[in-house]
Amino acid sequence: MSNPLLSTFSTPFSTAPFTEILPSHYQPAFIEAIAEAKKEIEAIKLVNLPTFENTVEALEKSGKQLGIISSIFFNLNSAETNDEIQKLAREISPLLTAHANDVLLDQELFQRISQVFEQRANLSLTAEQTTLLEKTYKSFVRNGAQLEKIDADTLRKIDQELAHLSLQFGEHVLAETNKFVHLVDNLSELEGLPQGALDAAAQLAEERGHSDCWAFTLDYPSYIPVMTYAKNRALRKTLFMAFNTKCAKGDDLDNQEIIRQLVTLKQQRAKLLGYESHAHFTLEERMAKSPATVLEFLQSLLEKAKPKAQLEVKEVAALAKNLDQLAVLEKWDFAYYSELLKKEKYALDEELLRPYFSLENVISGVFETASRLFGLRFVANSKIPVYHTEVTAYEVYDRENRFLSVFYADFFPRPGKRNGAWMTSYRGQFKEGNVDHRPHVSIVCNFTKPTKTSPSLLTFNEVTTLFHEFGHALHGMLARGVYESLSGTSVFWDFVELPSQIFENWCYEKECLDLFAHHYQTGEAIPADLVEKIKKAANFQQGYMTLRQLSFALLDMAYHSQNPDQIQDIKAFENEVLKETELLPSVEVTRISTSFSHIFQGGYAAGYYSYKWAEVLDADAFELFLEKGVFDLETSISFEKNILSAGGSEHPSLLYARFRGRDPKPDALLKRSGLVLG
Catalytic residue ranges: 469
Q: How far apart are CA 158 and CA 271, in angstroms?
A: 12
Residue 620: φ, ψ to 5°? -65, -40
Residue-wise over 454-463: b if at least 16 C-beta within 10 A, else e?
A: bbbbbbbebb
Strand, coil or helix: 522 = coil
Which H or E run contains 395?
A: strand 392-397
Q: Which long-range contacts (CB under 8 A, 24 or more apart) does 159-162 make?
A: 159/97, 159/100, 159/101, 159/269, 160/94, 160/97, 160/98, 161/261, 161/265, 162/262, 162/265, 162/266, 162/269
Let me know the angle formed at the C-alpha of 282 by 486 and 110, rounded to the nearest 5 degrees.
60
Could you tell me the CA-to-CA distances from 635 to 326, 398, 469, 501, 631 in Å, in that order?
Answer: 51, 17, 21, 17, 8
Q: Decide: 217 and 174 in contact? Cβ < 8 Å.
A: no
Q: How far apart are CA 418 and CA 81, in angstroms?
A: 9
Q: How far apart are CA 441 and CA 633, in angstroms?
A: 25
What ranges make up the beta strands (E) of 249-381?
377-380
Q: How far apart are CA 436 and CA 414, in angstroms?
A: 36
Q: How far apart are CA 74 and CA 459, in angstroms?
A: 30
Strand, coil or helix: 397 = strand
Count of other CB atoms within 10 angstroms of residue 237: 16
Count of other CB atoms within 10 angstroms of residue 422: 16
Residue 440: φ, ψ to 5°? -120, 110
- Which residues have CB under 8 Å from 617's CB, separation 6+? 495, 498, 501, 502, 656, 664
